Amino acid sequence: MVVLIGNCAIKIARFRLIRPAIRLAQLFREKRVRTQLRKYDENALMGSLKYLCAGVVANRVEYQLSREYPNAPIAEVLTMLLGGLIIIQERGEPVSIFNSQVRSHPLWAAMVEEAGNEFGAQLQFARFTPDSQVRLVDFGRPELGPMLASC
């Protein structure tokens, strides 16, 4: 959940409870639990915890990447509270997919692939003042680190 107050975007992590229980039961029946949970961690127990707490994990990754790549075209995470339950970013303005800055963003193709379409990818970007730079605002995936290093 994102709460916009003044020039801040407050991102509050959500916990997955009902849907994961149903999904885990389905994976147990299909005997694919380990395979799926290894997407989150090599250890199945840690993978389960990371899956259930994916919002907190994503917030922590955004904070870490923001600190590790301060010059990358991503929104700066100003602070992290309660171990990642809450992060605060600078607030940006929505952008259009028809904007050339959005389409030329170094992570545009990766976001389109992840979202499955341009309209879904567009929601991951915002324009920030005073420089009118377009930055990625939703980047809580560790695999983006190497891409950010090359920006």
Task: Report how many domains make up the chain.
Answer: 2
pLDDT tens by residue, the chain, 151 residues = 899 999 999 999 987 667 777 877 787 788 777 777 777 778 877 777 777 788 898 999 999 999 999 989 999 999 999 999 999 999 999 888 788 888 889 888 888 888 888 888 888 899 998 788 899 998 988 888 888 888 7
Examine the domain organization and report whether 37 and 82 are in the same domain: no
Examine the domain organization and report whether 60 and 85 are in the same domain: yes
pLDDT of residue 60: 94
Sign of the dihedral through C-alpha 117, 100, 103, 134: negative
Examine the domain organization and report whether 88 and 28 are in the same domain: no
Helices (H), 31-142: 33-37, 44-52, 54-68, 100-103, 108-115, 118-122
CA distance 123 to 9: 14
Examine the domain organization and report whether 30 and 77 are in the same domain: no
**Global pTM value:** 0.78
